[in-house]
Chain A
């Protein structure tokens, strides 16, 4: 068993969640900026990209890129700018801004709960490991 692999799903999930927090923070920060367009992470797309690799060995994606040399940069779960998409505005505003502050805050709350869930999973896995090491 590989410890890195053992924690991989949740580690990747935490990384993506914190990246999404940044994007949502950007939206909230720019809620009064003229012509700013709200963005969000297309979560399903990013997961589809890293998903198959996660289960076996998350540093080598099973489709797309393969690591054939030790200097190759490993493929980890990170949102490239391609998976950051513009949000469909619910209503148009005069200054061209598409941020809906209430919606952003709701998504922020959802995102932080999911982040905490991943943290919780990580914590329980780590305590499982410690228990196994101590032989309790």
Chain B
């Protein structure tokens, strides 16, 4: 069965709001530090893929990948969680990247809401056909 327009726009809205969620998580954890490189917070990003049936379809999230940029290593010997050499490991979140991501996601979400409104109006008019 082919997907309806509401499925298509809905899947995109779901994907974009998931992207906003992940961005919020990244921004919230931008300034966290950890005692080792492995424990440091890494920026997460969703991976989108088209789910096409007959050339028509919405979008799905294949998964969430962690950024492989190295965490920031800072010398803070007085920090209680510093390792024995006095280093702490900050997250590898790039705040500028996250903010642009947030703007892009919210614009895409808005486009889909606009589209849903237009289609809803067209369908209501079609229902009134001949009256």
Contacts and interface: CB of A to CB of B under 8 A. Distances in A.
A46 interface: no
A36 B122 CA distance: 27
The majority secondary structure among interface residues of chain B is helix
Interface string A36-48: 1001000000000
B5 A22 contact: yes
Nearest to A109: B118
Contacts of A28: 9, 12, 108, 111-112, 115
B119 interface: yes
Contacts of A105: 111, 114-115
Contacts of B122: 18, 21, 112, 115-116
A21 B5 contact: yes
A32 B104 contact: yes
Given A33-B49, A33-B50, A119 B129 contact: yes
B71 interface: no
Interface residues of B, number: 35
Contact of B57 (A26, A108, A127): A26
Nearest to A105: B111
A23 B50 CA distance: 13
Given A21-B5, A108-B118, A101 B48 contact: no
B54 A25 contact: no
In the complex, the 9 A-B pairs of residues with the closest C-beta atoms, listed nearest first? A29-B12, A126-B130, A33-B48, A25-B8, A30-B50, A25-B5, A29-B8, A36-B50, A29-B58
Interface of A: 14, 18, 21-26, 28-34, 36, 39, 81, 84, 101, 105, 108-109, 112, 115-116, 119, 122-123, 126-127
Given A23-B55, A26-B57, A30-B59, 6 more contacts: A26-B50, A28-B112, A32-B19, A105-B115, A112-B122, A119-B126
